[in-house]
Amino acid sequence: MAAITKFTSFYTELGLATHNLNTDTIKAAITNVLPDIAQTVFDPVTNHAAPAASDGYTAGGHNIQNRFLAGKMTATDIVLTAGAGGIGPFRYVVLYNSSKSDKLIGWIAYTSSITLASGETFTIDFDAAAGVLTIP
C-alpha cells in the first residue's frame, strides 16, 4: 500500500479528540479527483467526485473496520468487485470519519487511474504490519 497523505486538519482534530481511531467508523471512498489537502469534510459530489452506489461500490465508501493500538491504525482490506456497469476510473482512496460529520483523515494515491470491467476485482490493501497510519 502506498503511503497515506494526511489532510491538514487531521492532526489538529486528533489533538482536540475529534477522532477516535479505535471506535469511530472510518470509511474509504474512491475518486479520480486529486483531494485538496486543505479540505476538512468529505463531500462525495463537489470535492471528491466519489461514484454513486452501483456495480459493486457502496455510496460513500466502505467501512474499513479500523482498530488503533500502540500508535498504529490497522484496517481490513476492501475488495471491490465490479458489476455489469464496471467501477471507475479512480486513482485515490479517501479516508474519512463518518462518525464525526465526515471529517477527513487522508488519502492514498495510486500511480494511475484504475477502471474495473464487469467481474474484475481490485483489493484496497491496507498493510497489516505497517498499518494504515501511525501516530509517533
pLDDT(127) > 80: yes
Q: Picking from 2-6, 7-11, 31-35, 47-51, which range would have the lowest pLDDT averaged per residue? A: 47-51
pTM value?
Answer: 0.91
The tens digit of pLDDT for each residue in 34-78 reads: 999 999 998 877 666 666 666 677 778 889 998 998 889 999 999
- Beta bridge partners of residue 122, listed in sequence order: 80
Are residues 1 and 125 in contact, defined by beta-carbon separation less than 8 angstroms?
yes
The whole-angstrom separation of Cα 44 and Cα 94 is 10
- From CA 111, how far away is CA 26, in angstroms rounded? 24
For the chain, how many residues are written?
Answer: 136
Is the Cβ–Cβ distance between 4 and 94 less than 8 Å? no
pLDDT at 3: 85
